[in-house]
Structure 1
Amino acid sequence: MLDIKVVELHKEDEVGGKNGKELFFSRYACGPLLGSGGFGSVFSGQRVSDGQQVAIKQVPSDRVQQWARLPGELRPVPMEIALLQQLSDVGGHGGVIRLLDWFEVEGLGFLLVLERPPQCQDLFDFITERGALPERFALRVFRQIVEALCFIHAHGVVHRDIKDENIVVDTRTLEVKVIDFGSGASLKETAYSEFEGTRVYSPPEWIESRSYTAVPLTVWSLGVLLFDMVCGDIPFERDQDIVKATPTFTRRVSNECRSLIGWCLSYQPEDRPSLEEILSHPWMQRGGEEEEEEEEEEEEAGRTLPSPSL
């Protein structure tokens, strides 16, 4: 664990990275573990200079799946760093987590210093605590995710692991950010033959032929995610259910929302919409009209969500 190894490191030890001669531990203080996964662990942290709260992602070198080259760097870096730097270099986007700094530390691997939004919670926990979201809230969140993905794709990156755990929500404002580019890749029009994302969010073509293209993969994952938001759980758990591509709705969902989910979860990749077509779908154009039944459900559940205008 990072917080244990930090004690063992000496401040005289130099680190690599874009601030090669800077000392990581003179610039950042590490806090407790926030979470861990297949590619690394994430800790809370603080920037020493101004007290800014950050997230510090530790990625051991032996867990890096893909490497990339950055201008001015002699050694390759994890693809995740290169992709986040690529998005940062064009100005970033409010819906995409921002890479603030990165270092290579002997014995720890790579340390990514990321912005940490205040009062944030990942969408998995958000849904677990509140249950299925009223459509007006799901719409607010989903639109932001799609717009962020439009930016990501427009600048040559594909995320490849869109799921509720990789979306963080500001619980006060419902503003969202896409996080964790550890499974990401450079965007291309030809097919991919490797996949490090989450299987229950993967499309039928990956299950059946171990091949997929970027936009249909992303859109399928968005269909699973939207179903998850409005029904409270994902539609498919088994491979045989994924390839059937016929979700069973467990809650009452509007016809327009069902239509969009069904379109995203089309069996044939070419039948799925583009991200731009998702944004122009009638459900996405509802404009925030609040249905009485949704308000009643919210009151009964005792939710304390804000009521932003869409």
Structure 2
Amino acid sequence: VAVHSTTGHRVAMKIINRRRIATMNMVERIKREIQYLKLLRHPHIIKLYEVITTPTDIIMVMEYAPFELFNFIVEKGKVTEDETRRFFQQIISAVEYCHRHKIVHRDLKPENVLLDENYNVKIADFGLSNIMTDGDFLKTSCGSPNYAAPEVINGKLYAGPEVDVWSCGVMLYVMLCGRLPFDDEYIPLLFKKISGGIFTLPSHLSPETKQLLSSMLVVDPLKRITIENIRKNKWFNTNLPDYLKPITSSPYDLTSDIDENIINELRKKLGYSREQILRGLKSEGENQIKVACALVIDHKRMINDDTTNHTQTTTSNVSSLPTAIPSSTTTPPSNSIPNTPNTSSIAGAGRNPIATPIRKHKTRSKWHFGIRSKSLPLDIMLEIYKALKKIGMKWKSIDQYHIRVLYESKCNTKIKFDIQLYQIENNSYLVDFKDA
């Protein structure tokens, strides 16, 4: 956990060792999680504020959510129906948001559902997520066995959304009952129970929750309830906050003239040139640029609607924000200035009351460690050398932008530390200090 020195907001730091993820074949999983979280913006999806890369580590600076739904359930035994409904409404809203923008989570479970200080849901861990393409079917067995759908554990083809619905059904059961619907230490027997849809509904459950669970935990994915129909469920809609209600917006035409501000935003977020963006928008079929453009337009609509609704003292609905995936992430050579990937600004970093609409802050903040400068890299290094020389420190060069410093005090105490320069965006650099 870290604290932003200016705003005082707490953030979580996920530090990932490059060598470790390489040996564990997790590079693609981490890259996927960063790419998806980088632009996802929903009140109940964990926010990624910044990614800082070093030669040895990847540091993800994320929204701080101190609790897990899993621990909450363990401590409670089982959750009350009203509390369960509030969590479930937030989860379904976030999952629907992902599906609407072609992302299926594939590993939904209480351990991956975090809770903020006000016990609002924050879905995390998108490492197993995948992009859905119209007409395409996935065939990757992933996720946790107890929460995995029958078609997943049996290696069958699946479109995507239906496996998340099953996992949400298992989570709903766990919250209401305090135990798993499908459980066995012997994995083959567990798979048999899941494949057969064998589970019991305790007598203390209300008829409405029994009906909803029975429609979600259906073995045949074609007969399983959809999120659209969950949205229509009477139990689900009881005390549903306005900000979680479905949005209704008119379709947009990506072939018409696009605002230059939107193009510039896409250039910044995706790293594509203006020509590549225009070419992508004009090309046939679905692509990352079109999805990103549609989401940016949705985001601007949300801001406009929010401003209008605020003036009229009404509550605004949650809308879509950018979720496009860059095609690749390049790692700079060791003798160059390492880059910190660009990220979108913080939206709604403050805490909010339980079950109330979460407003977006309009101030833009950046999360960095160390000292920022817009001077030329060589000028920055020269200033560092001058400062070290002035106070009598010794140093040796590890590479052009990385030095190891030795300080000896009058009482013969020796302190070693590294100073390294990073590029965090165009014409902006970061001087980082760390223990050697």
TM-score (norm 2): 0.50
Task: Give the C-alpha shift of residue 193 in structure 1.
Answer: 1.8
Distance 2:34 2:354 in 1: 36
Match of 1:93 in 2: 42
1:67 alignment partner, SS class: helix
Distance 2:47 2:167 in 1: 22
Superposition RMSD in Å? 2.5
1:271 alignment partner, SS class: coil
Letter aligned with residue 216 of structure 2: C
Letter aligned with residue 100 of structure 1: Y
Q: How does 1:7-86 map to 2 (within 5 A)?
A: 44-60=1-17, 61-62=21-22, 63=24, 65=26, 67=28, 78-86=31-39
1:194 alignment partner, SS class: coil
User: Is 1:113–2:61 an aligned residue pair?
Assistant: yes
Percent identity over the alignment is 29
Range that drifts further, 94-103 or 239-248: 239-248
2:93 alignment partner, SS class: helix
Task: Give the C-alpha shift of residue 82 in structure 1.
Answer: 0.8
**Structure 2 contact 14–59 (Cα < 8 Å) conserved:** yes
**Structure 1 contact 121–170 (Cα < 8 Å) conserved:** yes
**Structure 2 contact 140–152 (Cα < 8 Å) conserved:** no
**Which of the numbers 150, 170, 194 marks the counterpart of 2:140?**
194
User: Is 1:167–2:113 an aligned residue pair?
Assistant: yes
Count of matched residue pairs: 234
Higher relative CO (CA 8 A, sep ≥ 6), structure 1 or 2? 2
Task: Give the C-alpha shift of residue 212 in structure 1.
Answer: 2.5
Letter aligned with residue 141 of structure 1: F
For each residue in 1:63-99, what CA deviation from the matched residue of structure 2 results, as whole angstroms up to 9, or x when unmatched? 454639xxxxxxxx70111111232xxxx11111111
1:263 alignment partner, SS class: helix
**Which of the numbers 169, 178, 181 marks the counterpart of 1:232?**
178
Match of 1:176 in 2: 121
Task: Give the C-alpha shift of residue 47 in structure 1.
Answer: 3.1
Task: Give the C-alpha shift of residue 228 in structure 1.
Answer: 0.5
**Which of the numbers 161, 164, 167 marks the counterpart of 1:218?**
164
Letter aligned with residue 115 of structure 1: E
Distance 1:195 1:106 in 2: 33
Q: Which is greater in Rg? A: 2
Task: Give the C-alpha shift of residue 114 in structure 1.
Answer: 0.4
**Structure 1 contact 64–78 (Cα < 8 Å) conserved:** no
Distance 1:85 1:307 in 2: 25
Q: 1:188 to 1:234 in 2, by over 3 A?
A: farther
Q: Which runs of 5+ in 1 are unaligned?
A: 1-43, 69-76, 289-305
**Which of the numbers 261, 266, 270 marks the counterpart of 2:213?**
261
**Structure 1 contact 45–54 (Cα < 8 Å) conserved:** yes
Distance 2:27 2:226 in 1: 27
